Amino acid sequence: MRMLEDVHLTVDEVEALRLKEIEELDQEMGAERMGISRPTFQRMLASARKKVADAVLNGKAIRIEGGIFAMANSPYRCFNGHEWNVSFEEMTSAPPELCPTCDTPRIEPVLAAGHGRRGRGWHGGK
C-alpha cells in the first residue's frame, strides 16, 4: 500500500458519502444530519465521489484524514441471537470470525435498517 499513489478524503466527505450511499438519505436529509446547508452537502458529496472514482479506476489508495471525530463500535450478531460490539481498535486488526458466546461462525454485522443481509439467499458462515 505504501507504494500506491493516494487520494485524500476528508472525514466530512466520507460522512456525506456514507449518508447518501449507505443510509440512502436524500441530500436535504444528509445535510440536516451533518448540520450543513444542502449546497455544501452536495459539494462534499461530489468531491468524495470524484476522489473515490479516481482511486478505484486508477488503482490508488484512499486516505481519510482531517477533523475531530470518534469511531463508533461495530455491532455484530450471530444466527443464534447473540449480539455484541466490536471496538474500532479490534476491527483494525481483523473483523470477528466467531460469536464470543457460542463460537458459531455464522455471524453478520448489524447494519442500518433495511441494509442487513439476513433472509432468503444469504448462506453466510464458513
Q: Tens of pLDDT along 53-71?
A: 999 999 999 999 886 566 6
- Is 114 domain-assigned? no
The average confidence (pLDDT) of the chain is: 83
- Helices and strands in the chain: count of H runs, count of E runs: 4, 5
SS3 100: coil
Three-class SS state of 107: strand
Helix axes 27-34, 38-58, angle to 10 degrees: 100
The answer on 78 and 61 residing in a single domain is no
Q: 10 with 60, same domain?
A: yes
Query: Domain check: are 57 and 96 in the same one?
Result: no
Query: Does residue 37 sit in the same domain as residue 59?
Result: yes
Whether the per-residue pLDDT at 33 is higher than 50: the answer is yes
- Give 10's strand partners: 65
Using one digit for the tens of pLDDT, what is the confidence trace for 78-116? 999 999 988 877 877 778 899 999 999 999 888 754 434
Does 78 fall in a domain? yes
